[in-house]
Amino acid sequence: MCELDSSCTNSSSSITRSYPLRAPIPVGKRANKLYRDRTANFYSPGQWEKVNLLSMMHLAVYSQPPDLKLSVWSSPGLSRPAFSEATIEANGYRPAQIGGSFGPSWSTHWFKVQINISEKMRQMENLELHWDCSNEATVWNAQGEPLQGLTGRGERTEWIIPASLKDGVEHTIYIEMACNGMFGNAAGDPIFKDNANGDAIQPPDPDKYFALTKAEIVAVDLQARMLHSDIQIIHQAAQGFPEDSWEQHEALNIANRIINTFRVGDRELIVRSRKIAEEYLGPDVNSENVFHVNSEKNASVFAIGHCHIDTCWLWPWKETKRKVARSWSNQCDLMDRYSELTFACSQAQQFKWLKEGYPYAWERVKAKVKAGQFHPIGGCWIEHDTNMPSGESLIRQFLFGQRFFESNFGRRSTTCWLPDTFGQSSQIPQLCRQAGMNRFLTQKICFNNMNEFPHTKFNWVALDGSQVICHMPPAKTCCADATFGDVKRNRSIKITHLFSFSVKETAAVDLPGSRSKDCADSEASLTPQGCFLVFIWVTPPMISSTSLKRRPIPFPLGTASFTSSSIVEFTPLKLRLSSTIGKQRSSFRDLELLALIASVEDESFKYPKKEFDEM
């Protein structure tokens, strides 16, 4: 008994000594909103950017000769000359500088960028060329090979300078500037993005000019850049988790500790701040090991890069070809640096344009297809409408699409990919199965303004009973930003889902940032495994109990697109939609029939199959 009393007495004395008599400072309950706002101000542009994390992103900036010299040649009119035409000496490149204005709309300007990495710069490990003219551009090497795309207004403005240019010798690259934004050249409010002077779904301004606001060599502090991704994910978690939940409090506590640790000018504290972030995101957030953290679990969200480019919308046909080259070159560049990245893209027509106009980029894509990173999908010639075309037109979409994929990549697609179509015909499942596809992805109907579509995954059954597994990503877009909320929205439904991330109309965006965010989401157990792996849909037996839908999939919000005037002329795009489409279809049928009769009646007449296929 004495021993027990003695033990209790000693324990009580110890507690008394460790618990102070007076509180040092009063501590009240935290106001979550204030801490969320404080976190946002820590990494966002605006009035605090000179004293927050953004002020520490760069170690040094070089923008003057001899480090960087700029000259430009403007192609005549609205022509889009090839590299070999644009870089001849006779063109007479003139000096260019920051602040220069370039236009008008749809014109092309070729910049000769001469880079000389000095000895001081060579001591810095991570060098990038930052370029922003608020429009789209392509980076070419001196050998005429397209390396990657650039998209202005901060979307994707950096080109990583390779080690081969860090030899103390002057090197030349070229930047092909296209005088259009991501969504064309309309004046007015931005579309999809909160950027001043952005793009709108309106007729283009034919006299739009773009100012070169940034052209500089930057030594990047990668630790600061990664801390930026860390704090962004933690902030999104604080916003995405339920109010006053322990998960939200933990995110805010970590964010507050990071901000309290940070000091402008002290780079050692950035490393220390990242260590604090690892308490929330895990120790593997910096490596590809993050994608295997929870490998013993079955993944419920599979992330894959995607690039949705309308074959013709708010820009000329020829600009679509350049968008494809820019975007897909970007993906190949990212795949070279991130082996875990996979990317899916549809539309055989766009692959054909790349093959014909950009042989170097085409070979890169083919190599990545063979490596299992770049995935041609869709099985159709373009991402087509399914309501207005005739049955024969729809069949030709599948026939020519699958034929192209098989002849160029050695396999057909098993997934029909029509995310942006304004409603789906009830015959699509039947045509998909006859074309060798048993899976179907769509997305547009989530924008319905009358009612919300009730399913994200279901069996879609055609009139003849043919069925396909249909999936609608719960993120409600095929071009998600890879935010915490995007991934969490997929996880909220207990079924395997595809998470497609990108930016609509281009893949020339900050997908390295998306990778960082997905790394953090994966470590936070939002994507337990399979992140950036190809999404393997559940097998038919696993979905046999899923809802059946035996009718068309309408899109009420877009019905007006089928009832517009009989003739719509959009002169800048050379696009003419009219009631003559039906007449053209009938004329083409007559042409085929007459050619067939001629080939039977006259042995010397050769049926013009190649010409018809091109038509």
The 10s digit of each residue's pLDDT in 126-137 is 999 999 999 999
Strand-pair partners of 307: none
Query: Which is it for strands 210-211 and 101-102: parallel, antiparallel or unpaired?
Result: antiparallel
The more confidently predicted of residues 215 and 199 is 215
d(CA 140, CA 333): 13
Confidence of residue 355 (pLDDT cuts 50, 70, 90): very high
Mean pLDDT across 80-93: 96
pLDDT interval class at 234 (50, 70, 90) = very high
Q: Which of these ranges, 358-372, 411-425, 554-568, has the smallest mean pLDDT?
A: 554-568
Average pLDDT over residues 140-166: 95
Predicted local distance difference test score (pLDDT) of residue 506: 54
| pLDDT greater than 50 at residue 392 | yes
Task: Please count the other Cβ atoms lying within 10 Å of the Cβ belonging to residue 567.
Answer: 10
CA–CA separation, 522 and 301 (whole Å): 10
Rg (C-alpha) for the chain, rounded Å, is 28
> How many CB atoms sit inside 10 A of residue 475's CB?
26
Residue 453 has pLDDT above 50, yes or no: yes
Half-sphere exposure of 494 toward its Cβ, with a 13 Å CA cutoff? 0
CA distance 612 to 615: 5
237-251, 354-368, 378-392, 422-436, range with greatest mean pLDDT: 354-368
Nearest CA among 446, 504, 510, 509 for reference residue 308? 504
Note the pLDDT of residue 89: 92
Peptide bond into 104 cis (omega under 30): yes
Q: Between residues 281 and 570, which one has the greater pLDDT?
A: 281
The confidence band for 34, taking pLDDT boundaries of 50, 70 and 90, is: very high
Neighbours of 282 (CB within 10 A): 18
- What residues are labeled active site? 420
d(CA 447, CA 438): 25
Interval 515-524 mean pLDDT: 47
Of 66-75, 295-304, 354-363, 458-467, minimum mean pLDDT range: 295-304
**CA–CA separation, 568 and 587 (whole Å):** 21
- 494 touches 300 (CB < 8 A): yes
pLDDT of 108 reads 98
pLDDT exceeds 60 at position 360: yes
- The structure tokens listed for 549 are 């839908």
Percent of the chain with pLDDT over 70: 79
DSSP 150-174: EETTTTB-EEEPPGGG-SSS-EEEE
User: Is the confidence at residue 162, as pLDDT, over 80?
Assistant: yes
**pLDDT at residue 578, rounded to an integer:** 47
Half-sphere exposure of 372 (CA within 13 A, CB side): 6
- pLDDT of 551 strictly over 80: no
List the single range of 76-80, 101-105, 263-267, 546-550 with lowest mean pLDDT: 546-550
| Number of CB atoms found within 10 A of residue 266's CB | 12
More confident residue, 42 or 303: 42
Q: In this predicted structure, what is the pLDDT of residue 408? A: 98
Q: List pLDDT tens digits, range 275-296.
A: 999 999 988 888 777 766 554 5
Beta carbons within 10 angstroms of residue 89's beta carbon: 6
Token pair 């395997």 in the structure block, residue = 496
Report pLDDT for 561: 62
Q: Is the peptide bond before 66 cis (omega within 30 degrees of 0)?
A: yes
Segment 421-447 shows an average pLDDT of 91
* pLDDT(508) > 50: no
Question: At a CB cut-off of 8 Å and minimum separation 6, what does 547 contact?
Answer: 454, 455, 458, 459
Asked if pLDDT for residue 220 goes beyond 50, the answer is yes
Share of the chain above pLDDT 90, in %: 56
CB within 8 Å of 2: residues ≥ 6 apart: none
Q: Which H helix or E strand runs over 600?
A: helix 580-601
Rounded average pLDDT over 495-519? 52
User: Judging by beta carbons within 10 Å of its beta carbon (0-12, 13-18, 19+), is residue 566 exposed, middle or buried?
Assistant: exposed
Rounded-to-integer distance, Cα 280 and Cα 240, Å? 15
Cα 107 to chain centroid, rounded: 25
CATH class of the 316-506+529-540 domain in this structure: alpha beta
CA 546 to chain centroid, in Å, comes to 30
193 closest CA partner among 506, 531, 547, 544: 506
Tokens of 358: 């950009």
Residue 417 and residue 307 in contact, taking contact as beta carbons nearer than 8 Å? no
Nearest Cα to 95, choosing from 107, 112, 78?
A: 112
Stronger pLDDT, 600 or 312, i.e. the higher one = 600
Closest by CA position to 470, among listed 506, 449, 444: 444
211 forms beta bridges with 101
pLDDT at 438: 92
Highest mean pLDDT among 339-348, 445-454, 550-559: 339-348
Region 319-341 average pLDDT: 94
Q: Quick one: pLDDT at residue 560?
A: 61
Q: What is the mean pLDDT of the chain?
A: 83
- pLDDT above 50 (res 353): yes
Tell me: pLDDT of 192 over 70.
no
Residue 327 has pLDDT above 70, yes or no: yes
> Which among 569, 475, 589, 527 is positioned nearest to 281, based on CA atoms?
527
Residue 377 pLDDT greater than 80, yes or no: yes
Q: What is the pLDDT of residues 43-84, one digit of tens each?
A: 999 999 999 999 999 999 999 999 999 999 999 999 999 999
The mean pLDDT value for 389-407 works out to: 94
CB atoms closer than 10 angstroms to residue 525:
12
Taking the domains of the chain in order of start, what are their residue ranges?
A: 32-55+224-291, 58-188+204-220, 316-506+529-540, 568-614
The mean per-residue pLDDT over the stretch 98-112 comes to 97
User: Would you say the C-alpha torsion 592, 594, 600, 605 has a positive or negative sign?
Assistant: negative
According to DSSP, residue 425 is labeled -
Provide long-range contacts, Cβ within 8 A and 24+ apart, for 537-546: 537/415, 537/439, 537/469, 537/471, 537/496, 537/498, 538/469, 538/495, 538/496, 540/438, 540/469, 543/457, 543/459, 543/469, 544/459, 546/455, 546/457, 546/458, 546/459, 546/469
Work out the pLDDT band at 537, boundaries 50, 70, 90.
very low
> Quick check: 479 and 518 in contact, CB under 8 A?
no
pLDDT at 305: 86
- CATH 2.60.120.260 assigned to 58-188+204-220: yes
Burial letters 26-62, b for 16+ CB under 10 A, else e: eeeeeeeeebbeebbbbbbeeeeeeebbbebbbbeeb
Containing 334, the helix (H) or strand (E) segment is: helix 317-337
Distance CA(487)–CA(248), nearest Å, equals 16
Question: What is the arithmetic mean of pLDDT over 211-233?
Answer: 96
Q: Is the pLDDT of residue 573 over 60?
A: no
